[in-house]
Every structure is written in structure tokens, then in C-alpha cells.
Amino acid sequence: MRKHYWTPLFIVMIIGLLIGCGGKMVQKASPSFEPYTFSANKYEPKVENFVVILDTSYSMNHKYGEKRKIEIAKEFLSAMNQTLPELNYNGALITFGHDDSIMLDYGLTQYSTSGFGSALNATKPPSGNSSFPLKAAITAAAGELKSSQGQIPVIIVSDGENMDQAPVKAAKALKGEFGDRLCIYTVLVGDNPAGEALMKQVAAAGECGGSASADGFKDSGAMGDFVKSVFLAKAAAPMVVAPKPMDSDGDGVTDDLDQCPNTPKGATVDARGCWTYAAKVMYDFDSAEIKGDNEVILQRIVERMKEFPDAFVRITGHTDTIGDESYNMKLSQRRAKAGKWKTEVVESG
């Protein structure tokens, strides 16, 4: 008869062991949670290192609603871990409580979703007190961050229960060591009024950051906003470099400014991109007669004209400032015409 009683008990024990092994699965957020996805090209890290401090003291084993507080805390951190993109920052996970001690469960090391998730899943179950261990955890965070650079968020997830002012003093010391580079964020698990007040004081010691309740992170949008505000910044828009204007005829004046396109290569041009020939024909005072010693200059102009028969040639005449404007204008025109006529004579000759 005894055999018939022990067999069902043995089966129950096997089932119990299987269920216990099933509890070792990777910690995940609630089944309804779908992580918000950040576009890789739209965001960049605004922090270089971060530290998460998780309360695993005995009070976290108590129920809040239908779940133990430690389960709620881990669901929050798992959701954060699933949402946080793998960018160039280092992360650490410190737990406190278990027999009045602290543990460095992860890092400080290059952050990865899988690495942080595995560490979160492997944390010890709640036990021990909380006030002194939280103070020790904050002090330990300072030691891990001692040689770090850049901005640092410290995220503390706890019910805040059974604590004195020791964690607040430790948070102020942490802020004093890292200054404006460090901000403290606290996430309250549960609704204990004294715990809520303590968590707000710890966050306030950081002078930047803030205090929130785990109850406020029920969907991916809320967690996405949290991750974005703590870890990310909008990526700088890529600099658009305007294309350099072309210089089609290679005269040194770009096409957008060139009033004389297709200038022959090697020709001297002015600021407008128009071909110039640095030749001056001098006249006697109040005269438009071209002297014979200018024949060489005119001959060179004619040679250029023959080399480029389609070129447009502008001949200008000038005077000094003596005389009235109307007379000088007519003299200038006579000198220009004389240059044109002389050029034609040289060419035909």
C-alpha cells in the first residue's frame, strides 16, 4: 500500500523541480511590453557611463498589488534594457541588501542588451536590510566611476523602505565628487509614503535627474521617453556641403560669375571672366592720333584676333580730367575709333 502513496508524491516532486528550473529563464518585461525602437541615425549617446542600483533587500520580497516588488523592479529594468539602444557607453548594475552587503553584478563595462539582461536575471533574491547597503552601493558607484569621463546618470530602483538619511548623504557626496557631469534618477517601487519621500530626497541630492514611480511605465512610449531623456540626444544633422561652382573654361572665374564663357585657355581675364590684353596706347594731350611707336602693340593685338577669329573685342578710349565731361567723352570716343581703325589698317597691311 505504501508504494501506491509514494508514487504520486514522487511525481509531484519531479514536477516541482521542473517548475523550479523553468524559473531560470532570462528576465523579461511583461508579455504585453513591446519596446520602443530608436532609429540608429537619429540619436546619439549623451552619456559615456551609467550605473543602475537595484534594491534587493528583504522588503522588496513583499507584494505590491499582485506581484512582489522585486518582480516589478526587474520588469522595469528589463523594459529599460530592451529599449536602450546599444551605443557607445559603459554600464554597471549594483545590487544591495542580501545579508546587508552589496554586489557588482555587471560592469562597469561596454554595455550590451544581452550582457545587462543576463546580469539582471542572475541577481540574488531579496534579503537583508536596506539603509546602510544603499549608502554603500552609492559609494561603490563612485569607486566604479572614478576614472570615467562625460555625463553619468545613476538610476536607483527601490521601495525606499526602512531607510534613514544615510543614502541621502551618500548621494550628496557622489554629486560633490562628479559635479555637473552626474545626475540621479530614482524609481519608486510601491507606494510607501516614507519610501517615496526618501527616494525624492536622494534624487534631489543629484540636483538634476528626477524621481518617478514604476507605476508610470506601463507602455513602450513611457519607457521610450525615459530612455531618451536619460541616455540619448538628437544626432547632429549631417553637414550639407554645397557643390563647388564649376569653372568650365578654366579661366579662374566660376561659371556663376563668368560673364564671358568659353574664354580661350591661357588667356588673361578680368574679374568678370572676360579676356583682357594688357596693352596701352598713349596719346598726346588733346589728341586722338596714334603714334607710330605703338605699331608693335597693335600688331600683337591683330595676331591674337587672327588666332581667335570668333572672339569679341572691346576697344575703349580714356582721357585725363582736364576739360569738361562732354568734351572728354567725345575725345574718348575718337581715340577708341582711332584704335579700331588703326587695327584694321595693320591687319590689312
Determine how many CB atoms are found less than 10 A away from the CB of residue 290.
Answer: 20
Between CA 318 and CA 315 the distance in angstroms is 10
Mean pLDDT, rounded, for 218-228: 93
**Mean pLDDT across 281-301:** 66
Q: Dmax of the chain from CA atoms?
A: 146
pLDDT of residue 262: 75
Residues spanned by the domain of 308: 292-348
* Residue closest to 184 by CA, chosen among 117, 140, 230: 230
Overall average pLDDT of the 317-337 stretch: 71
Whether 77 and 182 map to the same domain: the answer is yes
148 and 296 in a single domain? The answer is no
Predicted pLDDT of residue 329: 78
The residue type found at 243 is: P
Over residues 227-234, the mean pLDDT reads 94
- Whether 46 and 173 map to the same domain: the answer is yes
For residues 306 and 229, membership in a common domain is answered with no
Of the candidate ranges 13-22, 30-39, 71-80, 109-118, the one whose mean pLDDT is the lowest: 13-22
- Regarding whether 49 and 193 lie in a shared domain, the answer is yes
Instruction: Identify the pLDDT of residue 239.
Output: 66
Answer yes or no: is 5 within a domain. no
Residue 245's pLDDT band, with cuts at 50, 70 and 90, is: confident
Indicate if the pLDDT at residue 294 is higher than 90. no
Domain contains 282:
no
Domain at 159, CATH number: 3.40.50.410
- Residue 7 domain-assigned (yes or no): no
Residue 244 located in a structural domain: no
Q: Where are the alpha helices (DSSP H) in the chain?
A: 2-22, 69-83, 113-121, 131-144, 166-178, 193-205, 220-231, 295-307, 325-348
Check residue 136 and give its pLDDT.
95
| Count of structural domains within the chain | 2
DSSP code for 277 = -
pLDDT tens digit sequence for 48-101: 999 999 999 999 999 999 999 999 999 999 999 999 999 999 999 999 997 788
**Which residue's entry shows cell 543602475?**
52
pLDDT at 195 over 80: yes
Calculate mean pLDDT across residues 199-210.
97
Residue 255 counted as domain residue: no
DSSP for 75-141 reads HHHHHHHHHS---S-EEEEEEEETTTEEEEEEEEEE--HHHHHHHHHTPPPP-S-SHHHHHHHHHHH
223 and 91 assigned to the same domain? yes
Please state whether 60 falls in left (phi above 0), alpha (psi between -120 and 50) or beta: alpha
- Of residues 156 and 8, more confidence is placed in 156
